[in-house]
Structure 1
Amino acid sequence: MPISPKFTSILSKDWEINFTQCAPNGYLKYTDLCNFLQLTAAAHSEVGGISFTDMQEFNQAWVLSRMRVEISKLPKWGDTVTVKTWINSLENSRSVRALEMYINGEKIVGSETFWAVFNTEKRRPEALALPYEHFELYPDKKPTIERFSKINFTNEKEIVFEKTVFLSDLDIVNHVNNVKYLEWCLDVIDEKLLLKQRVASIEMNFLKELSLKDTVLIHESIQQDETVFSITKDDKTCFALQIHWK
């Protein structure tokens, strides 16, 4: 698609929270929060001419490599939230994108994300084949207090779950969707921590893709104010998640 006449380098998009996106406490699920952020990023790439459809002409897609989400509070069923997004950096095969969520003008979520251009046939990173110079970059406009980081998942841990990848776990790029990794890990956490909104931040590292019928192990390491998960296949780590608690 060509660049939309409505394109701007900072995009704001409103979302209404419906009941299917809420936990039993009536507040937005953490997985759906991350979905809203990713959907807003996708909407910005679409009006900017670098969407999945545009990139598929060159067998390319954006894939998420790292994501940090800082949460002060969650919206609830019936709320309308505004998600704003802009690009901090974009060069060759890599991009850092910022996202913020607001309700009634109050910022409640900040997220820094790191994306890579991925060849969907060769299954490896490569330089973006489309023009992107029309995006104004905002390197100093940071959405989070802390930057995303490399998660340390080498501490003592235990296996808490074994999982086989099903068709429902896959997305349009034909690998496990980013939010599914988070969902698998949250499912083994004490539900009281989630329902009482004890999550201060979520950080995710996506290291290796997973495909249909892959079998993985989910490991958990619990510290005083954080929990670290890692997901492995054949003893190789594919994903790491770090949750800081309030």
Structure 2
Amino acid sequence: MPIAPHFTSILSKDWVINFTQCAPSGYLKYTDLCNILQLTAAAHSEIGGISFSDMQEFNQAWVLSRMRVEIDALPKWGDVVTVKTWINSLENSRSVRALEMYVNGKKIVGSETFWVVFNTEIRRPEGLALPFDHFQLYPDTRATKHGFSKINLNHQKEMVFEKTVFLSDLDIVNHVNNVKYLEWCLDHIDEKLILNQQIASFEMNFLKELSFKDSVIIHKSLNENATTFSITKEDKTSFALQLNWK
């Protein structure tokens, strides 16, 4: 679709937290937090003329490569949250996008995301085929206190689960949806840590896509202040997650 008349380079969008998005504690699930952030990014790309449907004319889609989320608090059922987003950088096949979540004017979440333009036919990155010069960039306006870091996968680790990719794990790009990786890993965390909101921040690195009926192994390693997960297929790492504890 063409660029919307109301397009702006910084988008603010309100969301109402409903009961399907909440954990038994009544607070937003970490997975649904990521969904809301990504839906806001998608809404901005749509009014800016670089949405999934726009890009599919060239067999392209935005796919998430890295994501860092810093959490001061989680919203609860019934809260109206405002998510603000803007682009730090955008060139060729890569873009860094910032997102912030507010409740009653107070910032509670900051996120930095790294996106790649992906050709859905040849399954490889390539330069964006659509114009994007109308987006003003804000390279110095960051949403997080810290930038992306290298997730250390060299710690001693244990296998915690074996899984086959099901149809319900796939998204419109026909690979495992990025939030599914987080969901798989959080299922292997002490529920008290999740329900008591003990995650200060987390970082995800999406390395290789996973497809229908792939067989994967989930590994977990612990240290004093963090828990690290890796998901491997045929001994090659497809995904890494680091949870940093309060």
Q: Which residue of 2 aligns with 1:9?
A: 9
Residue 205, structure 1, aligned to residue 205, structure 2: yes
| 1:20-35 aligned within 5 A | 20-35=20-35
Q: Which residue of 2 aligns with 1:69?
A: 69
Counterpart secondary structure, 1:8: coil
Q: Which residue of 2 aligns with 1:194?
A: 194
Counterpart secondary structure, 2:35: helix
One-letter amino acid of the counterpart of residue 213, structure 2: K
Q: Which residue of 2 aligns with 1:155?
A: 155
**CA apart distance, 1:155:** 1.1
One-letter amino acid of the counterpart of residue 77, structure 2: W
- Superimposed CA distance per residue, residues 153-206 of structure 1 (whole angstroms, 9 cap, x where no aligned partner): 121100000111000000000000000000000001000000000000010000
Question: C-alpha separation between the residues in 1 aligned to 2:35 and 2:26?
Answer: 17
Percentage of matched positions with identical amino acids:
80
Question: C-alpha separation between the residues in 2 aligned to 1:218 and 1:133?
Answer: 41
**CA apart distance, 1:148:** 1.2
Q: Which residue of 2 aligns with 1:178?
A: 178
4+ residue runs over 2 A deviation = none
One-letter amino acid of the counterpart of residue 190, structure 1: D
Question: C-alpha separation between the residues in 1 aligned to 2:197 and 2:160?
Answer: 23
Residue 127, structure 1, aligned to residue 127, structure 2: yes
Counterpart secondary structure, 1:55: helix
Question: C-alpha separation between the residues in 1 aligned to 2:129 and 2:94?
Answer: 12
Q: Which residue of 1 aligns with 2:54?
A: 54
Question: C-alpha separation between the residues in 2 aligned to 1:7 and 1:97?
Answer: 16
Question: C-alpha separation between the residues in 2 aligned to 1:33 and 1:70?
Answer: 11
Equivalenced residues, count:
246
- Superimposed CA distance per residue, residues 132-160 of structure 1 (whole angstroms, 9 cap, x where no aligned partner): 00000000000000001221112110000
Q: Which residue of 2 aligns with 1:92?
A: 92
| 1:234-245 aligned within 5 A | 234-245=234-245
Question: C-alpha separation between the residues in 2 aligned to 1:8 and 1:240?
Answer: 34
Counterpart secondary structure, 2:243: strand
One-letter amino acid of the counterpart of residue 100, structure 2: E
- Superimposed CA distance per residue, residues 192-240 of structure 1 (whole angstroms, 9 cap, x where no aligned partner): 0000000000100000000000010000001111000000000000000
Question: C-alpha separation between the residues in 2 aligned to 1:182 and 1:7?
Answer: 32
Question: C-alpha separation between the residues in 1 aligned to 2:151 and 2:93?
Answer: 22
Question: C-alpha separation between the residues in 2 aligned to 1:170 and 1:224?
Answer: 34
Q: Which residue of 2 aligns with 1:226?
A: 226
TM-score (norm 2): 1.00
Q: Which residue of 2 aligns with 1:143?
A: 143
Counterpart secondary structure, 1:46: helix
Question: C-alpha separation between the residues in 1 aligned to 2:62 and 2:136?
Answer: 19
- Superimposed CA distance per residue, residues 104-132 of structure 1 (whole angstroms, 9 cap, x where no aligned partner): 00000000000000000000000000000
Q: Which runs of 5+ in 1 are unaligned?
A: none
One-letter amino acid of the counterpart of residue 76, structure 1: K
